[in-house]
Amino acid sequence: MKIGVIQFEPLFGEVDRNLELAGSLIMKSDADLLVLPELFNTGYVFTSKEEAISLSEQIPQGRTTQMLCDVAKEKGIFIAGGLAEKGGNGIFNSSVLVSPDGYVGRYRKVHLFFEEKLWFDPGDEGFKVYDTGVCKVGIMICFDWFFPESMRALSLMGADIICHPSNLVMSFCQDAMKTRCLENHVFAITANRTGTESRGGKSLHFTGKSQITGPDGRVLFRAGETTEEAGIMEINVNEARSKKVNEYNDLFKDRRSDFYSILTESDR
Amino acid sequence: MKIGVIQFEPLFGEVDRNLELAGSLIMKSDADLLVLPELFNTGYVFTSKEEAISLSEQIPQGRTTQMLCDVAKEKGIFIAGGLAEKGGNGIFNSSVLVSPDGYVGRYRKVHLFFEEKLWFDPGDEGFKVYDTGVCKVGIMICFDWFFPESMRALSLMGADIICHPSNLVMSFCQDAMKTRCLENHVFAITANRTGTESRGGKSLHFTGKSQITGPDGRVLFRAGETTEEAGIMEINVNEARSKKVNEYNDLFKDRRSDFYSILTESDR
């Protein structure tokens, strides 16, 4: 199968323009599964909770999810991408997964970064894995990568491919994803954005270098720092199904969960 | 405080020579905490369980632990290093921690690599952290690094510094330790060995490049591939005590342990 990442610069609040650009980039890309950046429809640097509310949409009724469903149907592909979600119980930094048959599911970012904590509510649904029929897909968003538990949970749930919509402002993630993919023997598609957003006296620069990483920790594709581009790779998803390192070691069977209990103690 | 790593080539079965060489390297090194490689007293490529039994020693009664206690007392320092342990309930790939006042504690390797599974029993005591009075020290051995749970557990238990006796034969660890230290905001001392051991028709090459890594993921020291050397770094252990990434994010407080339960499910 072919998996791909779409990197571009969303402009803050220009939802029409961002959806149109994302849609045209998707239409030009030949892949079975494509990943768009975090908050690709709205931009990132919110200045108030009200602004986040006003730019958020219901999932799947909102127009961003509907646009993605439309192009997914037209192209016959799966797409994951990030948007601000107006939920019944809060405003979330979410990603949807859509298929040729319509909306599949959503992920609400569990580990919020920096001022996101002012605009969004922390994800309340945990991690989920979706079976596309060809592969199993897990979603995490940007800063989730910093917590090894995110990709570990998705991988233990059976994910072959981690879709990773991102708006990265630090320099660590791309190299760290080599370790993340290696330790879990999965593929990951990190879709970052480019450009600088300056609003309300704040300025954030997004670092591009969107990346597709293989289960052996190899970087299969890395985009430019500032380019608008799609990166597509042909992969054999079966490579993510075996967790064997050698004839004696299996990364999942060798886990010693009896000794990991401190990782899930809630009173820490 | 000063922390250091000692890298050399143990020769298989030549315990006298290995202890003498390790002792002389320790005596020449000016640090408060030193780490020696995995199985530094015996070498690595066992060819039978009987061989592992015959080269294993009781902890702390055996001569390797006693030698380490002697030099730790003479130098007034802490030392961690790996040896084959003859336990009441099995033969373990262990590491001891010794202090100027004598034996402190041991760690029995939890994730055995490759044919170690033929010679050793899997560690049955889990992860432990020891307070030296100046810093808190956790121990893991070699392949434990591959499982993010190892360093996560030690760090959540309060370790500032991870002592990591190793006999690395793969190329991934040194770069991965940058992510391990970054995700936990701790120091790590990876003490690798050098040389090639060929025994019983098998040959393993050990990759050197012992490494001291900082809580921001920076490599503070990296040894040569084939050199016999000690690497010593002055560190401020307080850097490992704050888990803050920025004014909104704390790597430990931001953990969402309610969503990590799959990591400790024992029926996987």
When mean pLDDT is compared across A166-170, B76-80, B233-237, B264-268, the lowest value belongs to: B264-268
Averaged pLDDT score across all residues of chain B? 97
Q: Evaluate whether A153 touches A188 at the Cβ level (below 8 Å).
A: no
ipTM above 0.95, yes or no: yes
Query: Pairing state of beta strands B194-199 and B202-207?
Result: antiparallel
Whether the predicted pLDDT of A268 surpasses 60: no
Per-residue pLDDT, averaged over A84-109, amounts to 98
Quickly state the pLDDT bin for B267 (edges 50, 70, 90): low
**Distance set, CA B88 to CA B58, B85, B121, B235 (Å):** 9, 10, 12, 38
* Annotated catalytic residue, options A69, A142, A173, A181: A142
Per-residue pLDDT, averaged over B180-198, amounts to 98
Is B109 assigned a catalytic role? yes
Task: Give the whole-number percent of chain B exceeding pLDDT 70.
Answer: 99
Whether the predicted pLDDT of B268 surpasses 70: no
Q: What's the pLDDT at B235?
A: 98
Chain B partners within 8 Å of A157 (Cβ): 262
Instruction: Confirm or reject CATH 3.60.110.10 for domain B2-263, answering yes or no.
Output: yes
Q: What's the pLDDT at A62?
A: 98
CB pairs under 8 A between A and B: 146
Chain B partners within 8 Å of A248 (Cβ): 112-115, 117
**In whole angstroms, what is the distance from residue A226 CA to residue B96 CA?**
50
Whether the predicted pLDDT of B99 surpasses 80: yes
pLDDT tens readout for residues B201-218: 999 999 999 999 999 999
Shortest distance between the Cα of B176 and any Cα of chain A, in A, equals 6
pLDDT tens readout for residues A145-177: 999 999 999 999 999 999 999 999 999 999 999
Looking at residue A255, its amino acid is R
CB contact under 8 A, B127 and A259: yes
Shortest distance between the Cα of B222 and any Cα of chain A, in A, equals 18
**In whole angstroms, what is the distance from residue A128 CA to residue A154 CA?**
7
Per-residue pLDDT, averaged over A13-42, amounts to 98
Whether the predicted pLDDT of B264 surpasses 80: yes
Interface test with chain A among B254, B258, B266, B268, by most A beta carbons within 10 Å: B254
**Token pair for residue B104?**
């402190």
**Token pair for residue B8?**
């050399």
Looking at residue B264, its amino acid is T
* DSSP H or E stretch at residue A221: strand A219-222
CB contact under 8 A, B175 and A180: no
Q: Evaluate whether A32 touches A78 at the Cβ level (below 8 Å).
A: yes
Q: What's the pLDDT at B239?
A: 97
Task: Give the whole-number percent of chain A exceeding pLDDT 90.
Answer: 99
Q: Evaluate whether B266 touches A264 at the Cβ level (below 8 Å).
A: no
Averaged pLDDT score across all residues of chain A? 97
CB contact under 8 A, B179 and A182: no
CB contact under 8 A, A114 and B254: no
Q: Evaluate whether A92 touches A117 at the Cβ level (below 8 Å).
A: no
Per-residue pLDDT, averaged over A106-120, amounts to 98
Degrees, nearest 5: CA angle A60-A62-A64: 95
pLDDT tens readout for residues A122-140: 999 999 999 999 999 999 9
CB contact under 8 A, A113 and B249: yes
Degrees, nearest 5: CA angle B177-B118-B52: 90
Shortest distance between the Cα of A152 and any Cα of chain B, in A, equals 7
Question: How many CA atoms are closer than 13 Å to the CA of A105, on its beta-carbon side?
Answer: 16
**Token pair for residue A5?**
């990442």
Query: Pairing state of beta strands B90-99 and A229-234?
Result: unpaired
pLDDT tens readout for residues B85-98: 999 999 999 999 99
pLDDT tens readout for residues A219-242: 999 999 999 999 999 999 999 999
Quickly state the pLDDT bin for A266 (edges 50, 70, 90): confident
Q: What's the pLDDT at A267?
A: 56
Q: What's the pLDDT at B205?
A: 98
CA nearest neighbour of B93 among B72, B121, B130, B70:
B121
Quickly state the pLDDT bin for A120 (edges 50, 70, 90): very high
Q: Evaluate whether B210 touches B242 at the Cβ level (below 8 Å).
A: no
**In whole angstroms, what is the distance from residue B111 CA to residue B140 CA?**
9
**In whole angstroms, what is the distance from residue A28 CA to residue A15 CA?**
20
pLDDT tens readout for residues B172-181: 999 999 999 9
**In whole angstroms, what is the distance from residue B238 CA to residue B187 CA?**
10
**In whole angstroms, what is the distance from residue B138 CA to residue B163 CA?**
6
**In whole angstroms, what is the distance from residue A12 CA to residue A174 CA?**
24
Q: How many CB atoms lie within 10 A of CB B165?
A: 30
């510094």: which residue's tokens? B161
Is A116 assigned a catalytic role? no
Looking at residue A207, its amino acid is T
Per-residue pLDDT, averaged over B53-73, amounts to 98
Whether the predicted pLDDT of B37 surpasses 70: yes
Looking at residue A30, its amino acid is D
Q: What's the pLDDT at B266?
A: 74
* Annotated catalytic residue, options B38, B51, B116, B197: B38
């192209």: which residue's tokens? A75
Cα-flanking dihedrals φ and ψ of residue A36, to 5°?
-105, 160
Cis amide bond preceding A100, omega within 30: no
CA nearest neighbour of A263 among B153, B217, B124:
B153
